[in-house]
Chains A and B, each alone.
Chain A
Amino acid sequence: MQAEIIDHLRFTVISPAMIKRMSVAKLIVPDTYNEDGYPIDGGLIDQRLGVIDPGLKCKTCGGRVKSCPGHFGHIDLVRPVIHSEFAKMIYLLLQSTCFTCHKLLITQEQVQEIRPIIKKTIEAIEEDEHVQLGEEEIRELLFKKLKSSKKCPHCGTAQRKLKLERPTFFYMEGNKMKPDEIHDWLAKISDDDVRSLGMDPEAARPEWLVLTALLVPPVNVRPSITLETGERSEDDLTHKLVDIMRINQRLEQDIDAGAPQIIIDDLWELLQYHVTVYFNNETPGVPVARHRSTRPLKTLAQRLKGKEGRLRYNLSGKRVNFSARTVISSDSSLTINQVGIPSKFAEGLTVPFYVTLWNIEKAKELLQRQEYPMAVNLITKEGIRKRIGETNKEELVKEVQPGYVLERQLTDGDIVLMNRQPTLHRLSIMAHEVKVLPGRTMRINSSAAYPYGADFDGDEMNLHVPQSLEAQSEARYLMQPKNLVLSARDGRPIMFIEEDEIIGAYLLTKDDSYYSKEEASMMLSTVGIYELPKHEKNGTYSGRAIFSMLLPKTFNLDYKSGDQRVTIKNGELTEGIINEKLVGMGGGALILALFTECGADFIEKFLLNIAKISLRAAYKCGVTIGMSDYYLPDAVEKESQQIIAQADTKVHELLKRYKEKKLESLPGYTVKQTLELETMAELETARTLAIKALNKHVPPTNIIKIMAMVKARGSIHNFVQTSMFLGQQAVRAGRPSRGFAGRILPYFKKGDKRPEVKGFVHSSFFTGLSPADFYMHAMGARDSAMSKSLVTAVSGYLQRRLINALQDIYVDENLAAKDASGALIQSIYGGDGKDPMKEKVKVK
């Protein structure tokens, strides 16, 4: 069943002879359908070019809509026309050759000097060797030399000055050259000379660059649409081809009638315009051809180009079957490796079931089933797909034999690929095991959401069901989250616990957390552990002991970071608090150690269990936020006023020193810039002071403070902004500076230099913002929203360029990094051949 494999592609220019060979019909009527709505013979929808109407037969191959591949036709141009995209090349060719003897403007010796290099490169390409040739450089060198030549070395004629006026007009000494003259000139260049220029006369004879016949694409390349009103609407290409043919016909008539030269020339130029636009409607220097609705026509170049063009939209990316998309939500009872699939999806998606001698009974059972996990289609050995229905079921059961393939519905344990866009890195596509669930959303473990960059506020994800066994096993071995816990970016864990789970882990393992026997049993039973750890003297169980139940008995860890120290001895957490540095975004040291020592399957279980047990601990304590948590002791309010006042005076002092010219400029800055910098530094100090005050006065039991401290959610700065004061609002990385004359907002007096005039907000979210404050805050918010959207656009393009530049590089058997052509990039990848994913793994 293997289709033929393309070995290589060759690009050539199609010669007029080739056009005629390819063509099945010479088109002569510049129209599409006749009054009866029937295609005109010799028109642009000639039935020899293929069919688009269901029910009609192709006059060339007899095929119907689905089987006829379409056939090319051609138009004979009465007068030759320059192919606008080749104009530059034609110009170079004209400049390189003598206008009388049509030989290269270079002596044979000079050619001999350069030619071997070119010859060698051509040979090398033909022998399919890799050559890192400066092909273009040689060409450029050659053309440069040719251009500078003023006199023909063969016939001695002094060369005339040539000019190309974009897009397609050539002048010699100010006189216009007609395309037919150019055609004849180019035709007289010898094959050898063409080869000397690095061109291949087999692939492109110079005169082919001037069109004498135009290839007309088959109708299924430019299908016409029938509107609801019964009106036919033609494709843009058809429209343009009609224009070309019409002018071509008129030109022919005028020439035959012996019309004056001016009229003929005008028509000729018009024909040139239509052909130019037919190839590229964005040719510079040419008016854009428009549809009646003023929409620019989409001609050949536009079809290929850009993001929505053929290359990127239809060839590099394709639509697929066996896929689904819906909203995602989180499910803490699924492991990172699983995905919850809505039962409706499971019914609609299928996986092939290969019938063999050994599973034919199972196959028959699947065939006979009346409900959910049943077979949907049957594919015979000949590859004929049959839908299984109530009526033909029994018949098919009898027919089925080894070699047949059933398509059965998706069931638990099948492997599927999940994807979230933007697909920024390889972890944006991972393989999950199916778990069919009720409901309409796809569900994933919240720890598996981070690598996707997903949250559950309405995000949607795509699902693909790999069909072939190779694809399925590749997905299982290479793409399951449990094997991808470490990031290939820096070797640190990229799947960990977050938010509520982090605060839970903290509450569970902090020094004074003890639980009663009932509580301990309850917590442990949620993760399927039905024994208790050692209890304390008073009969209680420490949170650390409970946590330790999740660890293997042989596991040891000694973690130090700053003044934090965590020790795990023989699977017992003896010291330290489990925080985000161990199991969260801040490094995940414990996850890294467990992953490398206990493997993928353990980490899958561990991430599930630690999340569950931490959440239990959080429920036990109760993590809620109320207004009262933001209502701070009066001391804070007082201190906050002090900080603001202090900032005010400090800024005032700075200003005073500046006015008295006592302010010394920082090296590399002007005095004025220094003033601004120092002012900003001063206001920054106000923020640090506020954070200090908060830490001092707010009791350690304040949940917002705890959350910020353990890095579960929010930061202490958020707390300052809600309960003390908002502080400096930034616009374009500085204080707001534009608005009204001499001030930012009309609320202020001109020349007012107090900090609040330039966006230093005194009020807090808790007390509410004054109108002026509100405006300042809105300015800052708008600025950050703007720059955020800009960054995504800029970095998206950067990503595309990077991928394009590096995508071919791989590591070969000897760990050398090479590119697609086999050129060496690094003799040993990274200098040591180590995988960055396992970079942080400690080697024993």
Chain B
Amino acid sequence: MADIKDNETSVVPGEAVGTVAAQSIGEPGTQMVLRTFHSAGTASVVVSKGLPRLIELIDARKRPRFPSMHIYFDKGISSKYEKVREIWRMLEEVRLSSLIKGFDEDLRSATLTLNLDRDKLALYELTSRQIVAKLAKREGLQASAEGDIVKAKINKRESLKSTRTVFVHVLKSAIIGIVGISKAIIQQSEDGTFFIVTAGSNLEEVIKISGIDATRTYSDDPFEVNKVYGIEAARNIIANEIMQTITEEGITVSFRHVGLLADTMCSFGAIKGAGRHGIAGNKESVLARAAFEETVKHFINASVFGERDMLRGTAENILIGKQITLGTGRVRLSVRKSDIAKLSKK
């Protein structure tokens, strides 16, 4: 009976690991769901899943459709609901329009009268005074409060249209919270500690809040992680997210494949997607690029700049009918000159 030795489980030099990785990730794609599905019962924020999420990650879309964060807290805070709630209040971006019952705009005198919603204010522990202070910060705006009624007046009236624009901006303005976080939900993990799941992501601002454990706090947006923590962290996010998306569908894929893809996407020092604007569109070989997409564009540019195709990749060698440089095609036989001499003598 054969004893499997450690070195027998190694990859074989020359193995086309890239192709194997691509196939391993792509092949189960047919079994994945296309539509974002929110399951009933477990309440949480909307996250994209399945094929759309996979494509989003592999394409390296600058703006993911539903970015999300998991925010964890320092030890002293994480088990205390009240303290977590305090931080929660600072997170969610609350716009003025969601704090009022109604408003009235007088275009002639350029005054906006807001009727504040007391319950909503209480929820975020806000007072009308704070709102006035916030409004007064805007340039060219005067604000005053009488009970629940807040009045905002524009100092310099120009046209009716510009007045309206200002009003709309005022209503849309964020009173508290972090830009980009549209929703935050406190959740309890199995060990009793609390954490927050958010819709929208702003890692840079969130980790500045004291009490938040920045070492565990997680954003699923690779670009943001890249900005805050650098490319290595972004690589891990890409790999983890792809792995998670695939695993959720009940498909098993070795992490090696996903890791290789993530490493390739990040090997330029910036995140590059797999499509024509990413890895495939930045290949060294003109033929490989032309064979993928935008054929004419690549040939035209290559001719103007006198590009050379060194024929080192797979696609271009297939194209011109040479053996490819992977697998057994990498193996070269070399013969010592002295041996040739010997042979020819015979």
Q: In the bound complex, do residue A841 and residue B4 qualify as a contact, i.e. CB atoms below 8 Å apart? A: yes
Q: Bound state CA distance, A830 and B17, in angstroms?
A: 10
- In the bound complex, how far is the Cα of B37 from the Cα of A824, in angstroms? 39
Contacts of B41 in A (CB 8 A): 677, 681
Contact status A833-B10, CB under 8 Å: yes
* B34 on the A face (CB < 8 A): yes
Closest Cβ neighbor of A203 among chain B residues: B306
Kindly specify which of A66-74, A158-166, A665-673 makes contact with the partner chain: A665-673
A802-B58 CB under 8 A given contacts A316-B291, A489-B27: yes
**Within the assembled complex, what's the spacing in Å between the Cα atoms of A45 and B280?**
40
A668 near B43 with CB under 8 A, answer: yes
Q: Given A209-B304, A836-B20, answer yes or no on A8-B310 (Cβ-Cβ < 8 Å).
A: yes
B102 at the interface (CB under 8 A from A): no
Q: Inside 8 A of B186's CB, which chain A residues have their CB? A: 667
Give the residues from 284 to 335 in chain B that come closer than 8 angstroms, CB to CB, to chain A.
Answer: 284-288, 290-292, 295-296, 299-300, 302-315, 318-320, 322, 325-328, 330
CB of A292 within 8 Å of the partner chain: no
Q: Which of B254, B306, B314 contacts A836 (CB 8 A)?
A: B254
Asked if B305 contacts A198 (CB within 8 A), the reply is yes
What residues of chain A lie closer than 8 Å to B274, measured between beta carbons? 801-802, 804-806
- Does the CB pair B260–A803 fall under 8 Å? no
B178 within 8 A of A: no
| Residues A199 and B291 in contact, CB atoms below 8 Å apart | no
B168 within 8 A of A: no
Q: CA of A204 to CA of B307 in the docked complex: distance in angstroms?
A: 11
Residue in contact with A667 in the complex, picked from B22, B185, B295, CB distance below 8 Å? B185
**Closest CB of chain B to A125's CB: distance in Å?**
6
Q: How distant is the Cα of A820 from the Cα of B24 in the complex, in angstroms? A: 20
A151 at the binding interface (Cβ < 8 Å): no
* Distance of A475 Cα from B337 Cα, bound (Å): 32
Q: Is A839 an interface residue (CB 8 A)?
A: yes
Taking each of B20, B24, B299, B304, which has the highest tally of chain A beta carbons within 10 Å of its own beta carbon? B304
B106 is an interface residue with CB less than 8 A from chain A: no
Residue on A nearest B268 in the bound complex, by CB: A132
**Could you say which of A86, A806, A843 has the most chain B C-beta atoms within 10 Å of its C-beta?**
A806
A805 near B279 (CB under 8 angstroms)?
Answer: yes
Once the chains bind, are B315 and A488 in contact (CB under 8 Å)?
no
Cα A842 to Cα B3 with chains together (Å): 10
Closest to B18 in A: A809
Are B43 and A10 interface neighbours, CB within 8 A?
Answer: no
Q: For the complex, what is the distance from the CA of A160 to the CA of B304, rounded to whole Å?
A: 25
| A661 CB, nearest partner CB in chain B, Å | 15
Whether A425 and B27, one on each chain, are in contact in the complex, defined by CB atoms closer than 8 angstroms, is: yes
> Out of B6, B15, B58, B304, which one reaches A199, CB within 8 Å?
B304
Binary contact readout B12-36 vs A (1 if CB under 8 angstroms, 0 otherwise): 1111111111111111111011111
Contact of B263 (CB < 8 Å), options: A425, A684, A817 = A817
Is A699 close to B, CB under 8 A?
no
Q: Is B151 an interface residue when CB atoms closer than 8 A count as contact?
A: no
Q: Is the C-beta of B341 less than 8 angstroms from some C-beta in chain A?
A: no
Instruction: Check if A625 is an interface residue, CB within 8 A of chain B.
Output: no
Decide: A841 near B1, CB < 8 A? Known: A681-B41, A791-B32, A798-B54: no
The contact string, 1 if C-beta is below 8 Å from chain B, for chain A 784-807, is 000100111011101101111111
Give bound CA distance, A10 to B307, whole Å. Answer: 6
Stretch at the interface among A304-312, A388-396, A612-620, A760-768: A304-312
Contacts of A822 in B (CB 8 A): 312
Q: Which of A321-329, A593-601, A719-727 contacts B (4 or more CB under 8 A)?
A: A593-601
Does any Cβ of B come within 8 Å of A813's Cβ? Answer: yes
Q: A554 and B1: CB pair below 8 A?
A: yes
Q: Are B308 and A801 in contact (CB under 8 A)?
A: no
A817–B40 Cα distance when bound, in Å, is: 43
- Answer yes or no: B343 CB below 8 A from chain A CBs: no
B283 lies within 8 A of chain A by Cβ: yes
Question: Could you tell me the distance in whole angstroms from the C-beta of B185 to the nearest C-beta in chain A?
Answer: 5
B298 to chain A, nearest CB (A): 9
Asked whether A799 lies within 8 Å of B296 as measured between CB atoms, the reply is no
B244 at the interface (CB under 8 A from A): no
Residue of B nearest to A679 (CB): B40
Shortest Cβ distance from residue A136 to the other chain B in the assembled complex, whole angstroms = 9
Q: Are A13 and B303 in contact (CB under 8 A)?
A: yes
How many whole Å from A640's CB to the nearest CB in chain B? Answer: 23
Known: A204-B303, A836-B257. A799 touches B4 (CB 8 A): no
B23 touching A424 by the CB < 8 A rule? yes
CB distance from B240 to the nearest CB of A (A): 15
Against B, the Cβ 8 Å flags (1 = close, 0 = not) of A192-212 are 000000111011100001000
- If A426-B19, A799-B29 touch, whether A826 touches B5 (CB-CB below 8 Å) is no
Taking CB atoms, residues of chain B closer than 8 Å to A668 are 43-46, 183, 185, 199
Contact B295 A304 (CB under 8 A): yes
- Check B8 for interface membership: any CB of A closer than 8 A: yes
A319 CB-CB contact with B under 8 Å = no
The A-contacting residues of B in range 111-136, CB under 8 angstroms, are none
Q: Does A680 contact B (CB under 8 A)?
A: yes
Indicate if the CB atoms of B13 and A812 lie closer than 8 Å. Answer: yes
Known: A8-B310, A733-B35. A838 touches B304 (CB 8 A): no
| Total contacting residues, chain B, CB less than 8 A | 104
* Residues of B contacting A795 in the complex (Cβ-Cβ under 8 angstroms): 26, 29-30, 32, 51
CB-CB under 8 A from B199, the residues of chain A are 668
B10 touches A834 (CB 8 A): yes
List CB contacts (< 8 Å) of A1-43 with chain B: 5-13
Q: Contact between A599 and B2 (Cβ–Cβ < 8 Å)?
A: yes
Task: Note all chain B residues with C-beta closer than 8 A to A209.
Answer: 304
Query: In angstroms, how far is the closest chain A Cβ from the Cβ of B224?
Result: 21
B280 touches A801 (CB 8 A): yes
Q: Is B253 an interface residue (CB 8 A)?
A: yes
A183 → chain B closest CB, angstroms: 16
CA–CA, A794 and B29, complex, Å: 9
Q: A836 — which chain B residues lie within 8 A by C-beta?
A: 20, 24, 254, 256-257
Partner of B37, one of A280, A306, A488, A733: A733
- In the assembled complex, the CB of B321 is this many whole angstroms from the nearest CB of chain A, namely 8
- Give A6's nearest chain B residue, CB to CB: B320
B12 touching A811 by the CB < 8 A rule?
yes
Q: How far is the CB of B68 from chain A (nearest CB, A)?
A: 11
**Are the CB atoms of B11 and A833 closer together than 8 Å?**
yes
Q: Are B312 and A9 in contact (CB under 8 A)?
A: no
Q: Chain B contacts of A829 at CB under 8 A? A: 11, 17, 256, 260
A821 at interface by CB-CB < 8 Å: yes
CB-defined contacts of A295 to chain B, threshold 8 Å: none
On chain B, the residues within 8 Å of A128 by CB distance are 310
Cβ of A825 under 8 Å from chain B: yes
B268-288: CB near A (< 8 Å → 1, else 0) gives 000000110011100111111
A315 to B9 CA separation, bound complex (whole angstroms) = 37
B311 and A9 contact, CB distance less than 8 A: yes
A492 within 8 A of B: yes
Distance between B323 CB and nearest chain A CB, rounded to angstroms:
9
Contact at B314–A802, with CB atoms within 8 Å? Answer: no
Rounded to whole Å, the gap between the CB of B280 and the closest CB of chain A is 4
Instruction: Check if A844 is an interface residue, CB within 8 A of chain B.
Output: yes
Query: Across the interface, which residues of B come within 8 angstroms of A815, CB to CB?
Result: 10-11, 13
Contact B252 A492 (CB under 8 A): yes
The reply to whether B4 and A199 contact each other, CB–CB distance below 8 Å, is: no
Tell whether, in the assembled complex, residue B6 and residue A843 are in contact, meaning their CB atoms are under 8 Å apart. Answer: yes
B315: contacting residue among A316, A554, A794, A821, CB under 8 A: A316
Confirm or deny: B170 has a beta carbon within 8 angstroms of a beta carbon on chain A: no
Interface check B259, CB cutoff 8 A: yes
- Given contacts A489-B24, A806-B264, A807-B22, whether A7 and B315 have CB atoms under 8 Å apart is no
Extra contacts, 12 of them, besides A280-B296, A829-B256 (Cβ < 8 A), are: A311-B291, A315-B318, A316-B291, A316-B319, A488-B23, A489-B23, A554-B1, A596-B4, A798-B26, A799-B29, A801-B58, A810-B16
Q: List 12 A-B contacts (CB under 8 A).
A: A128-B310, A304-B295, A488-B23, A667-B185, A801-B280, A802-B25, A808-B326, A815-B11, A815-B13, A817-B18, A821-B312, A830-B255
Q: 4 closest Cβ contacts across the A-B interface?
A: A203-B306, A809-B18, A795-B29, A799-B26
